[in-house]
Structure 1
């Protein structure tokens, strides 16, 4: 379980680093598979597969945003935020310095997945070479290491 104090530390560090937009992402696992969502072709970074993720609203806590975003993007209910898996920085489609904080989450049930913002989804084997960006591959590598501890 992630300690509440960590969320505040992450936000404070992002602020000190000049990050303009906070984003949260969650690894949703079902057995030996993980949920990946495909961005619409006409969207920023269209066609890529990614974690359920999204922007943190002004004044919103990271954990609250994570639970909300997983629900909005997949229809799934987060029951536990298990582990913090690191972050990565990128420039958003609007040119903002963004930081995505990534977490392993448990959901109450792994389905049905109901998409709101993505074209497709899939459950990919965790030990496969996942079709995601290098930044997200690094998050999955950290997740695999967490599982082996």
Structure 2
């Protein structure tokens, strides 16, 4: 019989990283790629994220994808504030990272990180479901304290 030794913090980090409850916040094209990660060939359930939540109070991971406008920004912040602690944010796609092809528009926020703190950036237009999978793996490593960035 094997013996496992760890600290309480390490056990909590392991549990948190392996049971992320994502909240969908799809604002444009990238949302289609975000939905594709729930398909059987991508199998997001292996990361403990089987069901995307519709309530911020039941989520600890917000995946923001698509162009954030100045009118939408306060709503993004309010939903983020309603999430319980600890909470994490993934920015998926070039539009949400820096405005994308719409960055010259008067109503576009040039990055969701001006509204909420972002833990992982996933560039692309749109990023593939595999890129989102890699972003979730990176977030899990950050939660466990294994990632450099």
Structure 2 length-normalised TM: 0.30
Higher relative contact order (CA closer than 8 Å, sequence separation 6+): 1
> Which structure features the higher share of helix residues?
2
> Which structure features the higher share of strand residues?
1
Structure 1 length-normalised TM: 0.30
